[in-house]
């Protein structure tokens, strides 16, 4: 529902399903990892001929942590020029990766359990991924739905602002939850484009 608005603003818009999600392959058994997903994004960028092109990252939930890993990699490679991505901005919604209050997954389905291992990865690599957000000079933004059960209000927002005071935040209407791009596409798109137009 936000696709048309994005394509009107940007020269090119790319969306992908991560391995294990949507219409992508779901290999079993498989150890799903944020590192693998970030490498897949880099592979896609290379495949599309977009190496060293300036890119705005817009991520949701699981993708927030993938975006954080991409930020980490770009920070490591800034001096050497080896980074595939020149990240221009980063906007999270439906969570903000390792800054969130997430517990251990309880799941009997082996496939879902293997996908949900990213929650444990967030805990294990919190310093790496939150550190990337804290260290980057890339403009950061959070679009937040106050009814998001994954990131409870107001605790999550308070923690986010404390950890990342340099990030800007858009808080949507009180009835918006975990999928603001579906629940309020106009409000979401306005919040995102206002962020993009601010720098």
* Backbone torsions φ then ψ of 133, nearest 5 degrees: -65, -40
Collapsed DSSP state (helix, strand, coil) of residue 133 = helix
Higher pLDDT, 199 or 52: 199
Collapsed DSSP state (helix, strand, coil) of residue 106 = coil
pLDDT at residue 197 in the model: 97
For the chain, count helices (H), then strands (E).
9, 4
Q: Where are the domains of the chain?
A: 2-93+106-197
Average pLDDT over residues 18-24: 90
| Cβ atoms 169, 157 nearer than 8 A | yes
Residue 11: CB atoms within 10 Å: 6
Q: Whole-prediction pTM value?
A: 0.88
Q: Which two tokens stand for residue 8?
A: 């009107």
For 140, residues 6+ apart whose C-beta sits below 8 A from its C-beta are 89, 90, 91, 92, 133, 164, 166, 167, 168
pLDDT at 187 over 60: yes
Q: Which architecture, in CATH terms, is 2-93+106-197?
A: 3-Layer(aba) Sandwich (3.40)
Residues in the chain: 199
CA distance 83 to 76: 8
pLDDT at 163 over 90: yes
Q: Which two tokens stand for residue 190?
A: 């306005």
CA distance 31 to 52: 29
| Cβ atoms 144, 169 nearer than 8 A | yes
pLDDT at residue 125 in the model: 87
pLDDT at residue 77 in the model: 79
**65-107 pLDDT, tens digit each:** 999 999 999 998 765 556 678 899 999 998 665 454 444 444 4
Average pLDDT over residues 161-178: 96
**98-154 pLDDT, tens digit each:** 454 444 444 446 666 676 777 788 889 889 999 999 999 999 999 999 999 989 999
């Amino acid at each position: 529902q936000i696709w048309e608005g994005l394509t009107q603003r940007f020269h090119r818009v790319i969306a992908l399903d991560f391995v294990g999600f949507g219409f992508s392959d779901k290999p079993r058994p498989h150890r799903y990892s944020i590192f693998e997903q970030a490498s897949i994004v880099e592979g896609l960028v290379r495949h599309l001929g977009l190496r060293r092109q300036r890119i705005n990252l817009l991520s949701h939930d699981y993708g927030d942590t993938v975006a954080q890993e991409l930020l980490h990699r770009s920070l490591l490679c800034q001096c050497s020029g080896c980074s595939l991505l020149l990240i221009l901005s980063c906007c999270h919604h439906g969570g903000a990766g390792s800054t969130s209050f997430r517990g251990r997954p309880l799941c009997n389905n082996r496939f879902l359990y293997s996908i949900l291992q990213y929650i444990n990865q967030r805990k294990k690599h919190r310093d790496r991924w939150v550190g990337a957000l804290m260290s980057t000079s890339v403009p950061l933004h959070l679009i937040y739905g106050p009814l998001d059960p994954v990131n409870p209000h107001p605790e999550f927002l308070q923690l986010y602002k404390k950890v990342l005071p340099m990030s800007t935040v858009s808080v949507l209407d009180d009835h918006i939850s975990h999928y603001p791009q579906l629940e309020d596409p106009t409000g979401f798109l306005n919040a995102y484009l206002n962020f993009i137009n601010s720098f």
